[in-house]
A and B are shown apart, each in its own frame.
Chain A
Amino acid sequence: DVKVTQSSRYLVKRTGEKVFLECVQDMDHENMFWYRQDPGLGLRLIYFSYDVKMKEKGDIPEGYSVSREKKERFSLILESASTNQTSMYLCAEEGASQPQHFGDGTRLSIL
């Protein structure tokens, strides 16, 4: 079974803090993704990565950065958290020509 592990289920941070969300997959797949999901807006792609040290912007990269130093780990960074980044964050991994598998999600609240 595919396992995608996100470091926190719930997280509360303050405006202006630097926030790290971690994601680890155990399938040795190249492709990893970060989404946010908000009511009525569906899943929106923030960043994705096809390989170690490689990253590509998704639809809404502003205010975020990512890091992929190892194949199994893809980190999302909120450089200076703002209240409009309160959301559910979902990490996914994907093998070639295969469907995505998601982590449990992180509910992030920025106060």
Chain B
Amino acid sequence: RKEVEQDPGPFNVPEGATVAFNCTYSNSASQSFFWYRQDCRKEPKLLMSVYSSGNEDGRFTAQLNRASQYISLLIRDSKLSDSATYLCVVNGAGGSYIPTFGRGTSLIVHP
């Protein structure tokens, strides 16, 4: 079983739609969680950290479900500029504190 799993997509949504991605992890002792955004041929950039109580940053909401071992990212009112690959990152997924990256979920927002 992979330590961090994401649906690769692509998720094809119209502008203004709400879209959600999940990311599951295998190690219940994992300690910290992040979402990154990666544009085509660019480096990953931190989008937001994921806190136990859930957190929001504008149109983006991140949540952690420790019981079911997944994190989620919700994007409201999608913009064309949200088109990218979204990577989840889990520290401690492999039993060490080295970050483990999911393979990413591709989002395409169309007019």
Determine if A42 and B103 form an interchain contact, defined as CB atoms under 8 angstroms apart: yes
> Given A41-B103, A42-B104, A48-B98, are A102 and B89 also a contact pair (CB < 8 Å)?
no
| Total A-B contacts with CB atoms under 8 angstroms apart | 37
Q: Which one of B18-26, B41-49, B61-69, B76-84 is at the A interface?
A: B41-49
Determine if B46 and A101 form an interchain contact, defined as CB atoms under 8 angstroms apart: yes
> Does A8 lie at the interface of the complex (its beta carbon under 8 Å from any beta carbon of B)?
no
> Given A97-B32, A99-B89, are A42 and B43 also a contact pair (CB < 8 Å)?
no
The 8 Å CB contact of A103, one of B43, B46, B87, B103, is B43
Determine if A45 and B43 form an interchain contact, defined as CB atoms under 8 angstroms apart: no
Determine if B49 and A45 form an interchain contact, defined as CB atoms under 8 angstroms apart: no
> Does B101 lie at the interface of the complex (its beta carbon under 8 Å from any beta carbon of A)?
yes
| Nearest-Cβ distance from residue B89 to partner chain A, whole angstroms | 7
B residues lining the A interface (CB < 8 Å): 32, 34, 41-46, 49, 87, 89, 98-99, 101-104
Can you offer 28 A-B residue contacts whose CB atoms are under 8 A? A41-B103, A42-B101, A42-B102, A42-B104, A43-B101, A45-B98, A48-B98, A58-B98, A88-B41, A90-B44, A94-B99, A97-B32, A99-B32, A99-B34, A99-B46, A99-B49, A99-B89, A100-B46, A100-B89, A100-B99, A101-B46, A102-B43, A102-B44, A102-B45, A103-B43, A104-B42, A105-B43, A107-B41
